[in-house]
């Protein structure tokens, strides 16, 4: 492992974790809490908050003094545009200096930020703008076409449009010109103290299992975000920290923007699209020491032909968004000099169960485990049929103990009391994550699947991730997604959709190899009865596989994913029936 000196530790982590949690709750949970003060103004003016890296590896450093001045300018502009505390302001922007200034200006005004992922189609943008009742949207010039009136976007748009990085058109306003009108010292640009329970962000879930739901993120959630940065990621004062996730989604917003601002830790933002070559270049050029990204990023790095640069300085590598597969962990230990650790969380909470890095909580975790609950959180696996903790080793429902989780901040979805009620047990004792998993006798948690992804075959509950983890160990397999298909004898049988590595031909021999691999490495009864080869898997914009779309497509009779298939093989099952 490439370990740097561990002598510099984030303030507060050396003491008992429970004490540190209380400190953070006290700081961010005050009745007069002010987001701009907590995220910006209390930090040293000359400290660097963000390093924004361009595709050519040039970089701009933003100090807290820069952010204080420019966010005050934008807050004053918002005030003069009629935006007040509690009003929703959306951003449809890439990872840039303008984005950070816009966000801090929104929060300085006491307004609520609505993130819009830049890969969204107009329909997804319109849904979120309408559901949030946004009064303004700040948009990069190359994204504003998505706001144009059309089939999915109303002609009489009720929001103001502010364009960054380009000239405004028609009734649009220029982000740069708005900033230029103000000095940053105007009274209307002063920070608004909204209190700990006021919403800071309205973030919509990815819609993996249905229509997106609005999650209001209060100011006091910053305690949880900073706790994860300290305990889970172990981001230290001398780290070069890079979270590659997009801030249009929870992991990027919470832990590339909000968490680093709360903790006063420098964060790298790459203002360019992803490629393995560029990722390696940034790691080497900026001597990144603490890196976190979705498993898809690590898989892409592993699959690419680009060589791993010499002299990487990584001491911490983490992953979130979907479970890590074993081959990524073994590859990272050799290629990166540090084994990637798996972390689990949700939009509604941030990260809650992790293979944590900080010295105060770091412990060995068995292969395939996502770790233990972080300080400030308490989790259990409940029986499927009743709201009681199940014995170790039992596959059940992953749940949070509400009274024993002081960092828990989610209280309900915006305007959706029925959906909120589904998330809590009848007595309010448990928050039900909607995920299935198990806990071993040492308190380590293992993710299995979303509740609705669990396959029940002849009475056996099978988590698709267990089978997928085996399949991706095959040299020809890049990605795999397992679903349950109806079967008259067994209730359900397993089918798998496989993305092959470039140049690998599909065929019956490969199908047999994959089936035998599952039988050998996981369980004889859990092998896939049908194997479909496809160019890519349907995913949310944040990279989560949408198995429900595969199930829906199969039920419609096509049997294939949404994206141009390369072939499908449906072998005959052991009782003679065709299982495709």
Q: Is 102 exposed, middle or buried (0-12, 13-18, 19+ CB in 10 A)?
A: buried
Give 1-48 pLDDT, tens digit per residue. Answer: 333 333 222 333 445 899 999 999 999 999 999 999 999 999 999 999
pLDDT for 10: 33
* Domain limits, CATH 3.40.50.980, in the chain: 64-194
The two beta strands, 565-569 and 530-534, are: antiparallel
Give 523-540 pLDDT, tens digit per residue. Answer: 788 899 999 999 999 988
Give 351-378 pLDDT, tens digit per residue. Answer: 999 999 999 999 999 988 999 999 999 9
pLDDT for 462: 81
The answer to whether 88 and 114 are in contact (CB under 8 A) is: yes
Give 393-450 pLDDT, tens digit per residue. Answer: 999 999 999 999 999 999 999 999 999 999 999 999 999 999 999 999 999 999 987 7
Cα-trace Rg, the chain: 24
pLDDT for 207: 53
Determine the average pLDDT of the residues in 284-294: 97
Give 308-339 pLDDT, tens digit per residue. Answer: 999 999 999 999 987 888 888 999 999 999 99
Q: Is the pLDDT of residue 548 over 70?
A: yes
Cα(248)–Cα(256) distance, integer angstroms: 11
The Cβ of residue 566 has, within 10 Å, a number of other Cβ atoms equal to: 16
CATH 1.10.3720.10 is held by the domain 454-569: no
Residue in this structure with the two tokens 């972390």, named with its chain if needed: 343
313-to-49, 279, 452 alpha-carbon distances in Å: 21, 14, 41
Give 250-279 pLDDT, tens digit per residue. Answer: 999 999 999 999 999 999 999 999 999 999
The answer to whether 407 and 400 are in contact (CB under 8 A) is: no
Question: Given 3.40.50.980, 3.30.365.10, 3.40.640.10, 3.40.50.1010, which CATH number is that of 64-194?
Answer: 3.40.50.980
* Domain limits, CATH 3.30.300.30, in the chain: 454-569
Cα(238)–Cα(223) distance, integer angstroms: 21
Residue in this structure with the two tokens 């530790």, named with its chain if needed: 9
Give 91-133 pLDDT, tens digit per residue. Answer: 999 999 999 999 999 999 999 999 998 888 888 889 899 999 9
Three-state DSSP string of 222-245:
HHHHHHHHHHHCCCCCCCCEEECC
Nearest Cα residue to 519 out of 497, 541, 494, 538: 494
pLDDT for 15: 53
Q: Is the pLDDT of residue 575 over 60?
A: no
Determine the average pLDDT of the residues in 458-473: 82
Q: Is 256 exposed, middle or buried (0-12, 13-18, 19+ CB in 10 A)?
A: buried
């Amino acid at each position: 492992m490439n370990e740097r000196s561990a002598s510099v530790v984030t303030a507060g982590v050396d003491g008992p974790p429970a004490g540190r949690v209380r400190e953070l709750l006290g700081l961010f949970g005050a009745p007069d809490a002010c987001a701009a003060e907590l995220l910006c103004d209390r930090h040293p003016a000359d400290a660097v908050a963000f390093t924004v890296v361009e595709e050519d590896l040039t970089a701009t450093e933003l100090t807290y003094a820069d952010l204080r001045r420019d966010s005050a300018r934008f807050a004053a502009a918002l005030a003069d545009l009629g935006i007040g505390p509690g009003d929703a302001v959306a951003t449809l922007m890439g990872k840039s200096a303008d984005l950070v200034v816009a966000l801090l200006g929104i929060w300085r005004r006491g307004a609520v930020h609505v993130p819009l992922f830049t890969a969204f189609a107009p329909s997804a943008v319109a849904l979120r703008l309408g559901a949030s009742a946004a009064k303004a949207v700040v948009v990069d010039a190359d994204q504003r076409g998505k706001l144009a009136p059309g089939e999915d976007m109303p002609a009489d748009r009720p929001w103001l449009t502010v364009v960054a990085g380009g000239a405004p058109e028609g009734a649009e306003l220029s982000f740069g010109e708005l900033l230029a009108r103000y000095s940053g010292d105007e009274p209307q640009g002063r920070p608004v103290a909204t209190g700990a329970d006021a919403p800071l962000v309205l973030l919509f879930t990815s819609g993996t299992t249905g229509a997106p739901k609005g999650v209001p993120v209060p100011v006091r959630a910053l305690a949880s975000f900073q706790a994860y940065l300290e305990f889970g990621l172990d981001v230290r004062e001398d780290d070069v920290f890079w979270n590659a996730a997009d801030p249009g989604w929870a992991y990027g917003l919470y832990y590339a923007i909000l968490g680093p601002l709360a903790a006063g830790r420098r964060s790298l933002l790459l203002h360019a699209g992803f490629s393995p070559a560029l990722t390696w270049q940034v790691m080497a050029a900026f001597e990144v020491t603490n890196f976190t990204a979705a498993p898809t990023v690590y898989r892409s790095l592993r699959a690419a032909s680009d060589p791993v640069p010499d002299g990487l300085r990584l001491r911490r590598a983490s992953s979130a968004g979907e479970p890590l597969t074993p081959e990524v962990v073994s590859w990272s230990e050799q290629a990166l000099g540090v084994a990637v650790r798996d972390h689990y969380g949700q939009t509604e909470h941030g990260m809650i169960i992790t293979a944590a890095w900080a010295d105060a909580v770091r412990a060995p975790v068995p292969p395939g485990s996502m770790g233990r609950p972080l300080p400030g959180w308490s989790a259990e696996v409940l029986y499927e049929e009743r709201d009681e903790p199940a014995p170790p080793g039992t596959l059940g429902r992953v749940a949070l103990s509400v009274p024993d989780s002081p960092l828990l901040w989610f209280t309900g979805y915006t305007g959706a009391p029925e959906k909120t009620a589904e998330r809590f047990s009848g007595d309010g004792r448990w928050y039900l994550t909607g995920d299935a998993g198990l806990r071993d006798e040492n308190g380590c948690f293992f993710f299995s699947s979303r509740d609705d992804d669990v396959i029940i075959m002849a009475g056996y509950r099978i988590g698709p991730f267990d089978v997928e983890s085996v399949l991706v160990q095959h040299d020809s397999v890049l990605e795999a997604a397992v679903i349950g298909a109806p079967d008259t004898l067994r209730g359900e049988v397993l089918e798998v959709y496989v993305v092959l590595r470039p140049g690998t031909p599909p065929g019956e021999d490969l199908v047999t190899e994959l089936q035998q691999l599952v039988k050998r490495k996981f369980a004889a009864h859990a092998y896939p009865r049908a194997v479909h080869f496809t160019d890519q898997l349907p995913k949310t914009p944040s990279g989560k596989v949408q198995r429900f779309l595969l199930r829906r497509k199969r039920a419609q009779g096509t049997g294939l994913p949404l994206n141009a298939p390369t072939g499908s093989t449906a072998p005959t099952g052991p009782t003679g029936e065709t299982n495709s």
